[in-house]
Structure 1
């Protein structure tokens, strides 16, 4: 008997560990709820709700294949090794299969589980699944993990030109087992309260993920280079929640994109090339978790930036969280996050740079807030994006490049369509004034919109002086 231990791989198609287990014999599936661990990781309630909804869909799919799904509960991952072992003893399991996850806590959990099983004579197999390349196989000539994305991407494309990662074998129905599937809980204590509208915005299931992928490839990928930066447009795939939960795989995305471009990476459809680039960014940040584990421990990649004089400004931080900064593009983006569990990628960069540069508030405060609200919350991507914006991370934006939220708004939401959608109090503003309504004292006096909490010019100068005051930039080649 084989056991597939499901984690962030909530699908049947192209599931490496599931396919491997089923090829070796009768298989049962296991999913472990660990709410204390999720709280420690700042996982959002809407994200946990998304997992549960996808698990219910997955349970039905597994039942059609006669694969029972068992559900167990632990508080933290410290109890997971014993929980997995107990299931193995109960059902006479010979081997356990799982798809590898990345991060310090994940690695410790899996190593402990592997050891516990090995001590009991039970085989344990980790499989490459949520990445295209095994960490440690994409390295510099000196044998180190890359720190610059463009160099990492070049080596990845060289490998992909030689051969594409194969999708996992199709899972076939097995003979029925005398084991009943467990019910999937409707909610987990401490993670309740996901609004119905948010759930409807993000339907669960593999079919939904593949329909989104097909629509994106068929209807929008050609315009992706131009449309992806415009938050008022449906220009992105909006697959990130499904990728984060493993409802769809990077391999499936890559194969679909290339199939629409005659197998080409660097010619033909520019949108496909740009989107593959984004898939490789996700890959890059997960490799960083393995090669530079300090980023999993809430540490800056660039160690000298730990000495930045971050401001303790709780009122400013709360105004940023609530969407009350007085800068419309910032506030609209933050309200989008609170209401949908998602934020447009261009806006993630704008609001992150505003917090870490203009407000000079520690990027970790923003990283934590995002994780507590994002339905696509992913340690690698979230940490990588925040450190990039704060100029503390690998491949980071130079500290002296600070986005101006007003000019960013004028450039990427020129008509104010996105702003008007999320800030109804500015609905009547002109296209000229909607990006910074405080410019007009008369208009400002007649609407309820907040005054700016910071002066852009002086706060920019404050950030430049703070970064310039650090030793270490010369060592980093800046």
Structure 2
């Protein structure tokens, strides 16, 4: 029998049927569309924690999509395996004409997609990618000379000047749901079948709270109150549309809009300077820093046992919930890099393991900002004083008391390092590294 001709819509960081660029283009095509999701073992096999909340979040999102698809008489093909093997299987099963998917800018994703593109092309199938997780991508917002921005403020000004209703328009996927490939429901592999287990985590809502957004600028830096949207995990996995969110909030609060622009900025940086996603400092001179690589101090930081209450509160919140308030993220990152002189890559990797909303572009951008090595980073001599940060952002110690209840008692650990000593040491080590870079550059440029 001849094989069924189909198109495939491959979901990755866009776990919704509504306002989805790739899905829209797939459904408007001439062939019925088979929805596909792959629990990618190339990623999952690297996860140490088998109670990883992110896998649980994805599983929940896929299960929800499957229920929605069943109402259309369709079903998502959900696989646990390696993408190339899954596509080889699908090519044997169907006459695959085209595959539609949304762009992913991370280095692994680029390699994976190129391999799949070649596999499909060899089989006579086309591979199409679309912009979906950002408003502007790659080289859509550039300087007058066509080069990418490396400083946020001028980038954000150009971003806002370019923005119009066209870029925020939703894709009306619902109009074409009749074009899904009709098949009986197929089961979604359970977490247990994939070697994971449920935690019962209550994930943040997708609700956009207008009153919170309006007060965002005044409340966003106070970790003891719910002053941030908690939508980052939904943006990370595409369970909400960035277009709809930007359209809904752009006139409510410019500070909140700026946070969405930061997302675009860091994805643009990752695309144009892929080395930052491969362990390299954006500013090469910072690779001359002689980090301490002290595993004992690093473990104390990871566990929230540094003797600095605001730092310990942040790390304990992260370990317990998979979330950390953004202001506190800056404090704990600065503390690791500058007070403890531990390589920012160690902190970046720990956050990558623990953050529910982990996103390579934003995580790398934030860590390199804290270390001083990134684009548009805080200067190396800017060293957060944890005590002053506490006075400013948790003056009544509500946040600290929630996560470090013993901090006023005799059983609380002593500070791992004295602030003024750490500050002086940091300035010396950073200064030495930058001077060494100048010497090395002179050697290279000398005839």
TM-score scaled to structure 2, two decimals?
0.91
Instruction: Tell me which of 29, 33, 37 is aligned to 1:27.
Output: 33
Instruction: Tell me which of 232, 244, 249 is aligned to 2:236.
Output: 244
Uncovered stretches (5+) of structure 1, i.e. residues with no partner: 262-268, 430-445
Q: Which residue of 1 aligns with 2:373?
A: 392
8 Å Cα contact 1:35-1:188 kept in structure 2: no
Q: Which residue of 1 aligns with 2:382?
A: 401
Q: Which residue of 2 aligns with 1:17?
A: 22
Alignment of 1:180-259 (within 5 A): 180-187=184-191, 192-193=196-197, 195-196=199-200, 199-200=201-202, 202=203, 208-209=205-206, 211=207, 213=208, 215=209, 217=210, 219-258=211-250
Q: Secondary structure at the match of 1:372?
A: helix
Q: Which residue of 2 aligns with 1:264?
A: none
Q: Which residue of 2 aligns with 1:423?
A: 404
Say if 2:4 is the partner of 1:3: no
8 Å Cα contact 1:67-1:174 kept in structure 2: no
8 Å Cα contact 2:137-2:267 kept in structure 1: no
Aligned length, in residue pairs: 430
Distance 1:189 1:365 in 2: 31
Say if 2:121 is the partner of 1:118: yes
Alignment of 1:59-98 (within 5 A): 59-74=66-81, 79-98=82-101
Deviations 1:147-188 (A, max 9, x none): 111121111111104753322123243267553343223316
Moved more, 412-421 or 170-179: 170-179
Say if 2:59 is the partner of 1:52: yes
8 Å Cα contact 2:235-2:241 kept in structure 1: yes
Moved more, 323-332 or 64-73: 64-73
Q: Which residue of 2 aligns with 1:434?
A: none
Distance 1:281 1:470 in 2: 29
8 Å Cα contact 1:42-1:368 kept in structure 2: no
Q: Which residue of 2 aligns with 1:329?
A: 310
Distance 1:90 1:49 in 2: 29
Instruction: Tell me which of 304, 320, 330 is aligned to 2:301.
Output: 320
Deviation at 1:42, TM superposition (A): 7.8
Instruction: Tell me which of 335, 353, 360 is aligned to 2:334.
Output: 353
8 Å Cα contact 1:359-1:454 kept in structure 2: yes
Distance 2:197 2:390 in 1: 32
8 Å Cα contact 1:48-1:191 kept in structure 2: no
Distance 1:15 1:94 in 2: 20
Distance 2:123 2:392 in 1: 61
Say if 2:418 is the partner of 1:464: no
Distance 1:66 1:225 in 2: 45
Distance 1:157 1:346 in 2: 25
Distance 2:152 2:78 in 1: 39
Q: Secondary structure at the match of 1:173?
A: helix
Uncovered stretches (5+) of structure 2, i.e. residues with no partner: 1-5, 440-447
Distance 2:392 2:282 in 1: 31
Distance 1:176 1:249 in 2: 21
Say if 2:312 is the partner of 1:305: no
Q: Secondary structure at the match of 2:167?
A: coil
Say if 2:110 is the partner of 1:104: no
TM-score scaled to structure 1, two decimals?
0.85
8 Å Cα contact 1:66-1:175 kept in structure 2: no
C-alpha RMSD of matched pairs (Å): 2.1
Deviation at 1:280, TM superposition (A): 0.4
Distance 1:167 1:370 in 2: 32
